[in-house]
Structure 1
């Protein structure tokens, strides 16, 4: 009986298909997940760029603009957590850590080392930006962070998190409306 079954190849295709199906499904789901992530990133970046253009005018309602960004992202990622953030600076050149005199040469600001207080808060800052949109001719850095759960739970099989974190940011200069208030940098030794 076995001699008759051994050369019989009927059903071999079904067995091969059963072996390959899980691999093909995993590849398809992984590809769809990555494509979805790219799509959400593209929507996020487009919404952030539009928000930046709208934010530069004097009468801009920042909360409405942020709501539009959240709405745009949630149209494609319904349960996503969307967090907008704005920091403003007096100029593009100030978007960096505050300068300091590195007395001991360790590359880290230590207590007692003199620094240039750009934002007027009396302490050394890694990021001297101030929260908000700023005023006339101020430079604003607008960042939006999005958290959402992956479409398919396969990411865990290869060690990835089931949560996706995307972000987009842009820098823009407000129109020169009104009078800009620029704090005078002071040399402090604290």
Structure 2
């Protein structure tokens, strides 16, 4: 049985193949392109944020820096310029006696050896708040010779709609931190510790 002429001709006709191939490849290519743009934006914003946080941390470590904390925090946002136009910032500072204690929990007596502090187990209250803490740092910039952990979180709406297309949240958060010792403009405050059993 012989096929009609128009069917044989359609089988040999290559017009429109390019449009079909483009239609198959274009969505994948556009998603990849948007992903590259979003990644580039994120890397660039993180680099600028890291530099701004380092600068603000160094300035806060000076003797006069503790009087200008709000101004230093606003300079972090200012240094990001247009990147931070719609972003929200969260600033935290915790101070420690030395670098070895940064981020550590307060010591406690683990009577039942379960690796966590339970009610009734004694602990060393290093930040003088009468409560066991997972981070023994004190809130604020501290004093002379104290070590300060300065963290900044920047939350912003993503600039490219890639994540909305795949069902992920449209907000991103960048975090930057620096740990610096305050200048020795005076003697370091005496260490205050007490053992509490509750």
Q: TM-score range by the shorter chain?
A: over 0.9
Unaligned runs of 5+ in 2: 1-5
Q: Which residue of 1 aligns with 2:130?
A: 122
| 8 A Cα contact 2:77 2:84, kept in partner | no
Identify the match of residue 101 of structure 1 among 98, 102, 109. Answer: 109
Matches within 5 A, 1:84-163: 84-95=91-102, 96-163=104-171
Higher CA-based Rg: 2
Which residue pairs with 2:49 in the alignment?
44
> Hey, what's the Cα distance between the residues in 2 that align with 1:118 and 1:73?
36
Q: How far did residue 74 of structure 1 move?
A: 4.5
Instruction: Identify the residue that residue 194 of structure 2 maps to in structure 1.
Output: 186
Summarize deviations over 1:17-49 as a string: whole Å, max 9, x none: 222112111110111111111111111111111
TM-score by length of 1: 0.92
For the 8 Å contact 1:120–1:183, the answer to whether it is kept is no
1:22 counterpart = 2:30: no
Give the CA deviation at 1:8: 1.4
Distance 1:38 1:14 in 2: 35
Q: Over aligned residue pairs, what C-alpha RMSD do you find?
A: 1.6
What is the SS of the residue equivalent to 1:87? strand
Matches of 1:108 and 1:4 in 2, distance apart? 78
2:15 to 10, 18, 24: 10
Work out which of the residue numbers 175, 190, 193 in structure 2 matches 1:167.
175
| TM-score, L = length of structure 2 | 0.89
Going from structure 1 to structure 2, the CA distance change for 1:91 and 1:181 (only over 3 Å counts) comes to same
User: Please, which moves more after superposition, 5-14 or 126-135?
Assistant: 5-14
After TM superposition, give the deviation of residue 90 of structure 1 in Å: 1.8
Where do 5+ consecutive residues of structure 1 fail to align? none
Contact 1:119 1:183 in 2 (8 A): no
